[in-house]
Structure formats: structure tokens, C-alpha cells
Amino acid sequence: MASALVIFKPDAAHRLAVRDALWAWLREERGWKLSGLTWYRPPAELIQSHYDFLQGRPFFPWLVDFMTALPVLVGRVEAEPAGLDSMRYELGETRIAESRPGSLRERFGIWGGINCLHLSDSPASGDKETQLWGRYLDLTHGSATLEPAGERPDHTFHLRSLFNQVAARSHTELATQEATKLLNAETDLTGDGFGALCRILLGAIG
């Protein structure tokens, strides 16, 4: 069996309808088993080690802010190596513009590297990542129970369209305002937490 680390990144952890959909997918446990899903706000040093192979890339400072600004949901998956491969296939490619139609990232990721879920890409990286995160929190027991999203909407595709406008510098201010409104409808975050969510998501555009 292989171990893999799974993280609902801040977008997926706090956009409630998206969180519900991903949680439903994970709970299907088709050839994998989930344990230790926990709320946790990672410190920058953990994210810097977790993504050490990306140090020096232009988006790295954003990536660290993205992953540390809010609590995320992190857990461990046990699967046969082939089961892990099929989970990664269902997840889809890293960048949203390139993610396979119908994959989780194409359906629920917003833009660029805002791609909803982290999942270790091989048994070797799964070992490394579960050991690293295991020094900070217990991934072996139980699982958080997530409150259902209720009536919260999923505005993924509309948000993607607005983010594309912001990126193209077309109606930047209006598109930003509209995206902020849609995000507000999707999440329970308020005040500084909501401000952080908007900062890290729109910050992906640079």
C-alpha cells in the first residue's frame, strides 16, 4: 500500500459547495482509504519544505501565501499504487487552463494554480509528504466531519471567466468586484478571513 497526502487547499476548504463535492468524491473510497482529515493552518516553513522543488519560481511567494493564509483540510490516503494513479488522473492537471475536461480541477479549480486539491503524485512523494506533515499533526486517526454546504452556490465557471478578464486587464475593477461578490456567496468566511481568501485568490493573477 502507498500513502499519500491530501489537502483541500484554501479555495476548496472555504468555498462550501466545492468542499462538499470534493468531500463526496473522497468518501467514495474507491480503492483508497482516507484517514486523519483535520483542519490545520500550516506555517510558512512547512509549505516551503513541502514545495521546496518550486523555490525560485516566480509564483512561489504567492504559493506560500496561498497555502498559509487560512486553515486547510489535510489528511492521508492509503491506496495501492495503481489506485493512487487513478486518483491523480481524476484530479486532473496542475494548471486549470490545461486540466482535463471533467477532472476535479477543471470542474472546481478557479484559475492558474488555484486548483482545489493537493494529492501526492507518487508513493515516494506520498511517503515524504506524510512524514513531513506528520511532524506537525496527527494524520493517523479519525476524520473531521464537515458541515454540509446547504444552499451555498458553486460559482466556479463564472469566477473563472471573471479571473480571465482580470488577467487580461479587461474591466479589471468591475470583474474584481463581481468576483468578490460571488466568493462572498460561496463561503462562510467574514472579515479578515474573507479578505484573506480574496487576496490569495486574486493574488494568483499577479
Binding site for Mg ion (CB under 5 A): 121
Amino acid residing at 47:
I
CB-CB neighbours of 185 under 10 Å: 14
Binding site partner of 38, from ligand ADP, Mg ion, none, Cβ cut-off 5-8 A by kind:
none
Give the residue among 138, 113, 123 at the shortest CA–CA distance from 85: 123
160 binds ligand ADP (CB under 6 A): no
Least spacing, CB of residue 54 vs Mg ion, in Å: 9
Task: Tell me whether residue 36 or residue 109 sits nearer to ligand ADP (CB atom).
Answer: 109
170 binds ligand ADP (CB under 6 A): no
Least spacing, CB of residue 121 vs Mg ion, in Å: 5
CA distance linking residue 47 with residue 104, whole number of Å: 23
Task: Tell me whether residue 59 or residue 194 sits nearer to ligand ADP (CB atom).
Answer: 59
Residues within window 10-69 making contact with ligand ADP, judged by CB under 6 A: 51, 54, 59, 63
Q: Give the H or E element holding residue 66.
A: helix 60-68
Task: Tell me whether residue 53 or residue 58 sits nearer to Mg ion (CB atom).
Answer: 53
Task: Tell me whether residue 59 or residue 152 sits nearer to ligand ADP (CB atom).
Answer: 59
From residue 109, alpha-carbon distances to 45, 54, 91, 195 in Å are: 25, 20, 10, 19
CA distance linking residue 89 with residue 168, whole number of Å: 30
Binding site partner of 44, from ligand ADP, Mg ion, none, Cβ cut-off 5-8 A by kind:
none
Give the residue among 137, 94, 84, 136 at the shortest CA–CA distance from 118: 94
Residue nearest to Mg ion (CB): 121
Least spacing, CB of residue 115 vs ligand ADP, in Å: 5
110 and 159 Cβ atoms separated by less than 8 Å: yes
> Taking CB under 6 A as the rule, which mask of x and - marks residues 92-121 in contact with ligand ADP?
--xx----------------xx-x--x--x
36 and 140 Cβ atoms separated by less than 8 Å: yes
Q: Which residues make up the interface to ligand ADP (CB under 6 A)?
A: 51, 54, 59, 63, 94-95, 112-113, 115, 118, 121
